[in-house]
Amino acid sequence: MNQINAVILDWAGTTVDFGSFAPTSIFVEAFHQAFGIPITLEEARVPMGLGKWQHIDALGKLPSVAARWQNALGRPMSHADVDAIYAAFMPLQIRKVVDFATPIAGVTDTIRQLREQGIRIGSCSGYPRAVMEALVPAAAQQGYAPDHWVATDDLAAGGRPGPWMALENVIALGVDAVSHCIKVDDAVPGIAEGLNAGMWTLGLALSGNAFGATWQEYQNMSAAEVAQRRQQASETLYRAGAHYVVDTLAELPGVIAQINRRLARGERP
């Protein structure tokens, strides 16, 4: 049928880990552990959505981090340095990621609704397989288990912003057309991934990296601060090319209904 029959979901900040804190906090710790270089959570968020080795490499190219690195070590960050930070990052992330496996409010109900409509649930992540092998069962114990998942190091072609992880889900799930898929993500590289795969794209402005707050921080925020952060996050995701931007995954069924009407009129992403 000419309607959405699969969604491809990101993990941190989209389905689990409100605010996407598991990876960001570990980047800060890994930089300090490997080389004693301080970075901020805000800096750690900038390349979010990339594979983690690529994320570390991109962090080293941020002007503020590059200047700090040069001042401390007298040279730019090298690939060997990225390898060393990644080696510190991996065991920390594997150990900590299970603490951030709780599904975001509304996720399990939304997944149930989608499955009742016959919609398949794919997923992919900037996490490597070793981290996903810890995260996936931990999330399943708390009620979230997609039909398929792909890690950023699973495919020889690479990860985001390329389309390959999303397209691997299409193959595994037996989806008949990429235009019948929605890629859902809270970060710019994940939106680019969906666009490059020819899919509809949905950005999440409140639960993820762009908003950048814990659930408790969000609950305690003033309405004015929530509105300001939401607007900034929405603008970032729309600039990346998102077809739609909503607050959390709980609003996905309504977006699917809108896209189904557009598909019925012959529209494509």
Catalytic residue from among 17, 52, 81, 186: 52
Instruction: Judge whether residue 230 has pLDDT over 80.
Output: yes
Q: How confident is the model at residue 223 (pLDDT cuts 50, 70, 90)?
A: very high
Which residues are CB-neighbours of 9 under 8 A, at least 6 positions away? 15, 121, 122, 123, 146, 184, 249
Q: Specify whether domain 6-20+102-264 bears CATH 3.40.50.150.
A: no
Question: Which sequence spans correspond to the domains of the chain?
Answer: 6-20+102-264, 21-99
Catalytic residue from among 10, 57, 81, 186: 10
Q: What is the average pLDDT across 30-52?
A: 94
More confident call, 138 vs 25: 138
The model's pTM is 0.92
For all residues of the chain together, what is the average pLDDT? 96
CA angle 37, 61, 48 (to 5 degrees): 90
What CATH number should be reported for the domain whose range is 21-99? 1.10.150.240
Q: Is 10 a catalytic residue?
A: yes
Q: What is the average pLDDT across 228-248?
A: 97
Question: Structure tokens of 266?
Answer: 């012959």
Tens-place pLDDT, residues 137-187 = 999 999 999 999 999 999 999 999 999 999 999 999 999 999 999 999 999
Question: Structure tokens of 26?
Answer: 């570990």
Where are the alpha helices (H) located in 36-78, listed in sequence order? 41-45, 52-61, 63-73
Tens-place pLDDT, residues 77-111 = 999 999 999 999 999 999 999 999 999 999 999 99
Determine the pLDDT at residue 196: 98
d(CA 209, CA 203): 11
Instruction: Judge whether residue 1 has pLDDT over 90.
Output: no
Q: Is 52 a catalytic residue?
A: yes
